[in-house]
Amino acid sequence: MRADRPLPPDSMTTDRNDLLAGLFRWAWRTPLIALLASFAMSAASANDELVHRALEIEAALYGYPQSAMLELEGLVPRADVAPKDARRFVYSLYGQAIVLAGKAPAAAELADRLEAEATKTQDLPGLATARLIRSAIESSAGDAAKSAALAREARTLAKDSDDAFLQYWAALALGTSARTRGQSEEALAALHEALSSADTAGNAYRRSSVLYQFSVLHLALKQGQESLAASLAAYENAKAAKSVYAMANAKMAESAVMELLQQPSRELAAMQEALAIARKAHSQVAEGRALVNLADISLRRKQFGEALNFARQALALAQATSDARLAAASKANMGFSLLGLGRIAEGKRLTDEAVAYYERTGATANIVELIDEYGSDLERVGDYQGALALYHREKTLKEEIAQETELRALVELQEKYESEKRNREISLLNRENRLKTAELANRELEQRVWWSLAGLFALSFIVVAVLYRKLRVTNQLLGQKNAELGIQSTRDPLTGLYNRRYFQNFITAEHAHPERRRQEDDRTVRALLLIDIDHFKETNDRFGHALGDAVLVEVARRLRDSLRETDRIVRWGGEEFLVLATIDADRLDELATRILHRISAEPIILLDKRIRTTASVGYVPIPLPPSDIPLPWDSAIGLVDMALYMAKGNGRNRAYGIRRLAHSNPETLAAAERDLEHASKAGLVEMHVAYGPYPASDKQVEQFSSNSQVPAARPLLAANSR
């Protein structure tokens, strides 16, 4: 208080002044509080509006990537001052839009910036966002392996966050990439996780996106009803979300299921409906995908001109939207159409470009499907050398998929076993610790509670005995399970025959312990036969995969009936079977003829279908006459493979067998391994040809001496007209 200010005359004056001062202070504070509250409400409203608009863009993102990118670019400044989760959501969509618009370098710069910010602040969800943008970049470039690896990292980083969209996006990206690579189990688990996140958020568009991926996955696994249910559910959710792109996507999935279920009219109608939806909404992305699928339908109907027109329209849209994957599919369909129209050079050029794209991407499942169709078309137009090369490439890819799947299953099994073992050890340690604690406590009371302590020791002994007995039972059960798994790992689940892994283990054991080989008499040899069902792809296409599987089971049964119980029958892959038999040397040709007649003599009757099935066979004795030449397993398999293709190339429904070499020197064997047909024509190899039965009459066995040649009237891989 200033000394020169006059003092109040009394206390009432002081109280009145204090009251007035208090009123004055509240008079200017109240508007300030109101103003701050207004600002807070305004900020919350602006944040809600930002998130709402971003959700609307999310539902249209894949159908209109260019316009979505521009609109999200306008939302970025608002997102920079919004809360972290809203900012992350906008930047996630922005990164995806840039990738879908074909601007991968700009998306990579955005990912670098977000990663630098997140690293500086140790923001794990921010790092996950950067990883997912990189995953989208790799997916658009076609590298499914890198895309899946980045999605796995993002899922780990986002696991403990409260960001529902981030968890959904990571699971969906992983599920999609794993499905593309043919890793069905990982894809199924990730998609279930994505669907759970979409359900938690109550987001119909996200549910539709996940259900679409489920439909495609079930389709790849030949589960028609599950795929159809997923596609119909995807359409209903897309309709609820008012997402035109998702609706068109769901209709495309429904069309693909109708192909599997052999309902061609519904297949075409669903795809035409998808095209109409896309065009009505002016979505070039959805329109391009519908057109390329219509081209595929026309190809299967042999309408090559119409297929070429659809594929050209799809390619134009793919180039306009910078969609490399759609462009590759369009080129493949254009190539197949041109091959069908007889324009071979143009067709091969475009199809080779599509194959090269998929090989760069590492999308193994897509490459196998494309090469299979390409090889059939090349065989139809007479390019047998090209068809043979594609066939070997397809076999290699299928083996890679099988080995990867088998390795992953073994790793998961080992991890499960180790986890159970660790849990048991921890449980036993905990029990032992509890017993030790009780023992120490009892020692302190030993003098006063002797009888109680003795009873406790007895009880402890009983507990340990019970635990030991349970452990023994558990170990016995584990041993039984391991034995069952060992049997399952060497058997083909469809036919019950041995699988390729069993035979490879058998070969390895023979190399390691040659003394275990059976001792045969002088007339007995081992025989290796490779059997391939003729035109099996046409059987699948005509009657469906379910009946195709039934044909494989029946052929396996007929092979068992043709052979002894001691002979080994292996499902070598697809429609190929490998037989290792022990037989008198002079009865090997008879065995090959018996197999041909057993498979082909009677049609296979399934439901109301009569399916005529024939087979081609290549075989060789081990050791190889004239001087019992030792024949390594890889050489034997190579020789029967070439003999099989001589059988197929000269009309199918026959067996080509190697009887003996003209000379016992290594040069003759090397010539046969390089080109069996050429060596036969040169008189270096004596071969035998047996024919399977025909509807009217059976052809007699045709035999070749060492001076005769294998008939060359038909070129390699010539089509069997019967």
List, for residues 302-352, the tens digit of each pLDDT value: 888 999 999 999 999 988 888 888 888 898 899 889 988 888 888 888 888
Range of lowest pLDDT (29-33, 97-101, 284-288): 29-33
Residue 509 predicted with pLDDT over 50: yes
Contact criterion met (CB below 8 Å) for 254 and 271: no
Q: CA triplet 47, 50, 56: central angle to 5 degrees?
A: 145
Q: Say how far apart CA 641 and CA 528 lie, in whole Å.
A: 10
Mean pLDDT on 283-305: 89
Q: Of residues 160 and 711, which shows the higher confidence score? A: 160
Per residue in 107-125, pLDDT tens?
999 999 999 988 998 888 9
What token pair was written down for 547? Answer: 């009946």
CATH topology for the 46-170 domain: 1.25.40
pLDDT given at position 7: 39
**How sure is the predictor about 521, in pLDDT bands with cuts at 50, 70 and 90?**
low
Rounded to an integer, what distance in angstroms lies between the CA atom of residue 203 and that of residue 563? 60
Split at pLDDT 50, 70, 90, the class of 400 is low
Digit-coded pLDDT (tens) for 488-501: 788 999 999 999 99
Mean pLDDT of 201-224: 92
Quick: pLDDT tens for 422-441: 556 656 766 776 777 778 78
Residue that wins the pLDDT comparison between 460 and 21: 460
User: What are the tokens at 597?
Assistant: 């007649």
| Per-residue model confidence (pLDDT) at position 579 | 97
Mean pLDDT, rounded, for 595-620: 93
Output 84 or 412, whichever has higher pLDDT: 84
376, with CB counted inside 10 A (0-12, 13-18, 19+), is middle
> Closest Cα to residue 251, out of 140, 280, 336?
280
The rounded percent of the chain whose pLDDT value lies above 90 is: 42
Does residue 700 carry a pLDDT above 50?
no
Reading the block at residue 124, the tokens are: 């794990």
Can you tell me the distance from the alpha carbon of 303 to that of 327, in angstroms, rounded to the nearest whole number? 21
Q: What is the mean pLDDT of the chain?
A: 82
Instruction: With beta carbons less than 8 A apart as the criterion, state whether 639 and 666 touch.
Output: no
**Whether 620 contacts 584, CB under 8 Å:** no
Give the range among 100-104, 464-468, 583-587, 701-705 with minimum mean pLDDT.
701-705
Is pLDDT larger for residue 118 or for residue 397?
118
Overall average pLDDT of the 532-542 stretch: 93
pTM comes to 0.49
H/E stretch holding 83 reads none
| Cβ contact 174:211 at 8 Å | no
Q: Which of 198, 197, 259, 201 is nearest to 228 (CA)?
A: 259
Indicate the pairing of strand 498-499 with strand 568-573.
Answer: parallel
- Integer CA distances (angstroms), 603 to 531, 564, 655, 695, in order: 18, 23, 19, 10
Instruction: State residue 393's pLDDT score.
Output: 73
Check if the beta carbon of residue 663 is closer than 8 Å to that of residue 684.
yes
- Residue 483's identity, in one-letter code, is A
Total Cβ atoms within 10 A of residue 409: 13
pLDDT of residue 387: 76
- Contact between 689 and 655 (Cβ < 8 Å): yes
14 pLDDT above the threshold of 70: no
Does the pLDDT at position 698 exceed 50?
A: no
Cα–Cα distance between 509 and 525 in angstroms, integer?
A: 19
Q: What percent of the chain has pLDDT over 70?
A: 82
Predicted confidence (pLDDT) at residue 378 exceeds the cutoff of 60? yes
- The SS3 of residue 524 is strand
pLDDT band at 510; cut points 50, 70, 90 = confident
Structure confidence at residue 467 (pLDDT): 87
Per-residue pLDDT for 405 more than 70? no
Q: Which amino acid, one-letter code, is at 501?
A: R
Domain-by-domain residue ranges, the chain? 46-170, 404-489, 498-703
CATH number of the domain at 498-703, please? 3.30.70.270
